[in-house]
Amino acid sequence: MSTTLITNLAEVFTADAQHTRINNAAILIEDEIISWIGAAADAPAADHVIDAQRRAALPGWVDSHTHLVFAGDRSAEFVARMAGQEYAAGGIAVTTAATRSASDYDLTRLLLGRAAEALAGGTTFLETKTGYGLGVEEEARHARIASTVVDRVTFLGAHLVPAGTDAQEYTDLVCGEMLQRVAPYVHFADVFCERGAFNEAQSRQVLTASRKAGLGLRVHGNQLGSGPGVQLAVEFGAMSVDHVNYLDDADVSALAGSWQQWDPATRSGAAGTVATCLPACDLSTRQPFAPGRELLDAGVQIALASNCNPGTSYTSSMSFCVATAVLQMRLSIEEAIVAATYGGALALGVHDLVGSLQVGKRADIQLLNAPAVAHLAYRPGMNLTGPVFRAGVLVAG
């Protein structure tokens, strides 16, 4: 066993249930696990000592919603949107065409580059989705490639009905042969339940088949307008519903109801459906921000994620998402960090492993080139990420 002490930390924000903050702190790592956190003055001896030089420490980001398996460029679509054109799901087809023509080698290199960018920005646990294949062979290829690079893969064959295909026939394909082919590579299944994508009946069919296949469920819901996405997600016990821009009172109540068996003080009990807010996407599509403040006040567990994708949110910067959530969605800095760490971990069902700095958890730790975590929102747009540790190993910075 090898021990490493990270000491001379100006501040540690643990993202535990009490939002514990320790000044003049140290963290002891035993192999890949956190074994002690406390005042630097009380720190135990260790084989190796790292002087953090008055940096702040917090958990590595858990990015629970990205679409990183893609090729091609859609900056022209972005420019048109900034000139007033509305975002529509149809842009997915543009990326699908470019991605289908990319070789395994090119697609893997693009994905590796994006995963490395995320890691350099402090993301130590990464989910990504398929969804730019939209055919049996392509979805299986993307799932296979993704499974070699990221921590968790979500099957999103139900992202868009390919042009010239009958919607019901395509939904049947997603729920049949496609699901069977991707299942060995993925942990979750998702459906884009939205006007222009999949309607309620088709979404229900995808969720039913995916549940039967033993996959965890997620829903893209209520992104471009009100709709049945949130209610379906809760009804099916989905682990998350993502976007959540257009919610009515019944949606918020349904989400809050799903957390009734959960004790936030001990973080135990039956988890409900996490509402994943995607502030970078909201900015890039000029949608109203997801009501993160209202959801938290109603007792809903939320996550913040980057939604890095070529259409609606081409950034993997979780620090940017945290700053935006504080500045625009009225979250406190602590709430935003917890949503981007523990919240993401809850959405992926890995909250016993990662998402907070606690004894026994994996040592996924980011140091900031700043003395306090408040700098993440106080200095928006600055790259404050310093050394990043994943399972106790320095992986970036």
Residue ranges of the annotated binding site for Zn(2+) are 65, 67, 220, 307
Q: Which residues pair with 23 in a beta bridge?
A: 11
Q: Which residues are annotated as a binding site for 4-imidazolone-5-propanoate?
A: 74, 132, 159, 223, 312
Instruction: State the binding string over 229-268 for ligand NIG (x if CB under 6 A, else -).
Output: ----------------------------------------
Cβ within 8 Å of residue 48, ≥6 positions away: 2, 3, 4, 5
C-alpha separations of 76 from 98, 133, 235, 280, 306 in Å: 15, 21, 39, 18, 21
Is 122 near ligand NIG (CB under 6 A)? no
CB 381, CB 280: distance < 8 Å: no
CB 192, CB 199: distance < 8 Å: no
Q: How far, in Å, CA of 273 to CA of 290, rounded? A: 15
Is 220 near ligand NIG (CB under 6 A)? yes
Stretch that binds ligand NIG, among 50-58, 140-148, 304-312, 384-392 (CB under 6 A): 304-312
CB closer to ligand NIG, 317 vs 356:
317
Q: How far, in Å, CA of 217 to CA of 256, rounded? A: 18
CB 340, CB 61: distance < 8 Å: yes
CB closer to ligand NIG, 13 vs 87:
87
> Quick one: 266 exposed, middle or buried, by C-beta within 10 A (0-12, 13-18, 19+)?
exposed
CB of 92 to ligand NIG, least distance (A): 4
CB closer to ligand NIG, 13 vs 192:
192
Strands 123-129 and 365-368: unpaired
Q: Contacting ligand NIG (CB under 6 A), which of 310, 343, 387, 392?
A: 310
CB 242, CB 221: distance < 8 Å: yes
CB of 261 to ligand NIG, least distance (A): 29
CB of 267 to ligand NIG, least distance (A): 28
Q: How far, in Å, CA of 178 to CA of 197, rounded? A: 18
Q: How far, in Å, CA of 6 to CA of 58, rounded? A: 12
C-alpha separations of 361 from 30, 349, 352, 392 in Å: 11, 14, 7, 10
Report helix, strand or coil for 57: strand
Stretch that binds ligand NIG, among 31-39, 254-262, 303-311, 344-352 (CB under 6 A): 303-311
CA angle (175 as vertex; 173, 146 as ends), nearest 5: 90
CB closer to ligand NIG, 4 vs 245:
245
CB closer to ligand NIG, 309 vs 356:
309
Is 307 near ligand NIG (CB under 6 A)? yes
Q: Contacting ligand NIG (CB under 6 A), which of 123, 222, 223, 356?
A: 223
Q: Contacting ligand NIG (CB under 6 A), which of 27, 40, 57, 92?
A: 92
The interface with ligand NIG within residues 29-68 (CB under 6 A) comprises 67
Report helix, strand or coil for 21: strand
Is 309 near ligand NIG (CB under 6 A)? yes
CB of 341 to ligand NIG, least distance (A): 21
Q: Contacting ligand NIG (CB under 6 A), which of 122, 221, 311, 355?
A: 311
**Helix ranges (DSSP H) in the chain:** 75-82, 91-100, 104-120, 136-147, 167-173, 179-182, 200-212, 229-235, 249-258, 279-285, 292-297, 318-329, 333-338, 344-348, 375-378
CB of 123 to ligand NIG, least distance (A): 17
Is 130 near ligand NIG (CB under 6 A)? no
Stretch that binds ligand NIG, among 100-108, 248-256, 310-318, 389-397 (CB under 6 A): 310-318
Is 95 near ligand NIG (CB under 6 A)? yes
Structure tokens at 279: 């502030």
The closest residue (CB) to ligand NIG is: 311
CB of 90 to ligand NIG, least distance (A): 9
Stretch that binds ligand NIG, among 49-57, 263-271, 309-317, 335-343 (CB under 6 A): 309-317
Q: Which residues bind to ligand NIG, rule: CB under 6 A? A: 67, 91-92, 95, 192, 220, 223, 281, 307, 309-312
